[in-house]
Chain A
């Protein structure tokens, strides 16, 4: 990773005299600050500020730069995301800028009552005067800086490399930055801003594009794609293809070359513990445990049953004794005797006796046949209970007639119940017989049977699908409803058509002019006809569906290769969900970067890919040359023979060749083109500024507080550095 933060507090602040300028490279990605004349900036950090709240004591603190996420867990970072002072490449949030400057000066080791050094700070090309003036005000008022100079970072980088002989005094500086990309022509060592060109695309957009693509392709791992991680991926794996179409075709064919070019990122994945088949001892042990449990349960059941039997027997004895006693007792004393025992009459005692003996027999676990016998006995006793049923009406008194009605009713219900039971029994037998026949058929000729089952399944399936289609119909046409006629545009099934017909006839057929619907009682019968409850279409469907389900399960049992056809649902689940059914494998946790490797940096050359309607890098050089005030062929040649690339984004492999090819398309045939890259694209801007500030002529280029207040905003607007000293 080429970008690292350095935030050690420097201790040698006091060693520098007041005349040594402080050099600041205020970039949208990183902030670099150091002393003039040195080779490396002292303090480097990411130009963002976070204001989270502390979890325990609730105070809001300020954290500048990106920090160890481990330490950040003490803070509640949900409400505050990282904020930047920049909007595109212009500083607009000066409160955040102040926090950043605070931090920077603090880490530089500043102490004393003010910053007593001149400051050289970088800004964007053609910085709006408001931003410039607010920055100057901040530096003068709050920090007490004696004098300030503003410069363009691309120009500093160019000058530095010019001194080192990388590029000539006439050239084009191409500066893909974090949020924007600039192309600035240099003539005689000075930037010509008239010919400058800016596109609002930069490293930020490339990283964002990559992040979105990966999140959409691997939605399950979305949490892994943090901004920092994706930036790392981008810097490590992305490259610029010389010809996008050719590369894409290579990947589309999917040959070995494509495989080589794809990079695969394996996420940490632990395979689920394999369940070993239980060993013999395990099985035996488990079986023994189960056996013991079963035994215990059985014993408990036995104990309960025997206690209940005892109880019932006791009760039986008691009742019999009572009956015997009753026989011995005299006629007159029956009533008093009975009132003592709690039973009202002899029949009651007898009936309880019978019930108790029945339950005793049940508890003793006698077979059902005996129960049926008992039931028959009960039946016969009930026929005695309905003594009045067979007696003709005219003999009975009114109360007895009522009694008779009741008994008739009871009798018919019990008989009905018995009949139903009988029918069920017969059906059981039928089904059993059919199953047995089925089994026999299967055993004697399995192949044929299977075939028959399958064809039956297909038929039933077709039928059910057909009916479903007729009913819903909406999802299966492509929107051209040619059968329009009935208003809603859907084909109605027979019942619905009938209903509509009834409605329309009822509405229009009645009397000429007047609506007399409802005058006659029969009219309301219409609703009964129309009622959806009478729809028995569904019943037919149910029967078929039940049959289908039965056949399906049967087939699944006996045929190992049978796969039930999935139901046609209108909304199909996303294919990302379908593979979830099988257990997750190692491959699911791999992120493959194939096409994305060169698709993302492509947006620098074709901003249309992300919807930004501006020229790409190669086209911008043409625009820049066109915009130059002087149309000099020789000058243009000189410019293109020294095309200088700087900025973090130009670290992509293959970008120089691509740019060269792009410029060649624009320029007349045979013109000299040479694309060079800065010595250190990331730090050269700061180094150039440092060299510039160390120059003896530098103080003439700065302006002091007095200048700022006296000369006013208009002067500030026209203020430009002179880069050749």
Chain B
């Protein structure tokens, strides 16, 4: 270890005096073998349907879809965009932007669409 790294105390020491079980005892061979459950799995395992539905829980309190009409803005410039290009599915504000839209390579088109989660995802 370089001197400056030690001096800056960048690295977490492996032995902590206040711990009952140290990390290297709990997780031998570095990373833990345990696969941590993702949020989706945690929520599934919670079994919220067993409990009364009006009791607030993590899933209950989520917001409903928006009632307001969707705001249509140009994907590239951010202005109001009443039009959309059927070939690429991007929204554009005026003719200049349209020229830009048509000249974009496919990679950029997909990235712009991905901003709106409208890109074609091939699983």
Contacts and interface: CB of A to CB of B under 8 A. Distances in A.
Interface of A: 9, 54, 57, 60-64, 67-68, 71-72, 74, 87-88, 90, 92-95, 98-99, 102-103, 105-106, 110-115, 125-131, 141-144, 193-194, 196-200, 209, 212-213, 216-217, 219, 244-245, 248-249, 251-252, 572, 574-575, 595-596, 599, 606-616, 619-620, 623
Contact of A614 (B17, B65, B78, B112): B65
Contacts of A112: 17-18
A249 B78 CA distance: 10
A128 to B, nearest CB: 5
Contacts of B105: 574
A471 to B, nearest CB: 24
Nearest to A124: B58
B56 A93 contact: no
A113 B36 contact: no
Nearest to A612: B117
B19 interface: yes
B49 interface: no
A54 B37 CA distance: 29
Interface in B72-123: 73, 76-80, 93, 100, 103-105, 108, 111-112, 114-118
A572 B105 CA distance: 9
Contact of B78 (A64, A196, A599): A599
11 contacts: A62-B12, A95-B34, A99-B23, A106-B13, A126-B57, A129-B46, A197-B61, A212-B114, A572-B103, A614-B66, A623-B63
Given A93-B36, A98-B23, 5 more contacts: A194-B56, A198-B63, A599-B73, A611-B116, A619-B68
Interface string B18-31: 11110100110011
Given A115-B18, A196-B56, A610-B115, A619 B42 contact: no
Contact of B80 (A129, A248, A609, A611): A248
A94 B93 contact: no
A23 to B, nearest CB: 17
Nearest to B65: A613
Contacts of B79: 248-249, 251-252, 595
- Give the 7 A-B CB pairs with smallest separation, nearest first: A611-B117, A595-B78, A193-B56, A87-B39, A62-B12, A615-B63, A614-B63
Contact of B36 (A9, A74, A94, A127): A94
Nearest to A197: B63
Given A67-B10, A102-B23, A126-B56, A575 B66 contact: no
Contacts of A92: 36-39, 42
Nearest to B117: A611
Contact of B71 (A126, A251, A608): A608
B107 to A, nearest CB: 10
A172 B8 CA distance: 44
Contacts of A129: 46
Contacts of A212: 111, 114-115
Given A212-B115, A216-B108, A249-B79, A606 B71 contact: yes
B34 to A, nearest CB: 8
A568 B54 CA distance: 66
A141 B64 contact: no
A102 B16 contact: yes
Nearest to A61: B11
A88 B39 contact: yes
A213 B115 contact: yes
Contacts of B17: 110-113
Contact of A209 (B63, B67, B115): B115
A479 B18 CA distance: 74
Contact of B66 (A105, A245, A611, A616): A616
A614 B73 CA distance: 17
Contacts of B36: 92-95
Nearest to A112: B18
B12 A105 contact: no
Contact of A99 (B12, B104, B112): B12
Contacts of A63: 10-12
Given A63-B10, A595-B79, A609-B71, A574 B104 contact: yes
Contacts of B18: 105, 110-115, 143-144
Contact of B21 (A93, A142, A574): A142
Contacts of A57: 1
Given A126-B61, A608-B71, A614-B65, A102 B42 contact: no
Nearest to B48: A128
Contact of B12 (A102, A217, A609): A102
A608 B43 contact: no
Contact of B103 (A9, A197, A575, A620): A575
Contacts of B31: 95
Contacts of A114: 18-20
Nearest to B30: A60
A209 B2 CA distance: 38
B108 to A, nearest CB: 6
A621 B103 CA distance: 43
Nearest to A108: B18
B65 A102 contact: no
A661 B114 CA distance: 31
A448 to B, nearest CB: 39
Nearest to B70: A608
Given A54-B1, A194-B54, A609-B73, A71 B8 contact: yes
B84 to A, nearest CB: 15
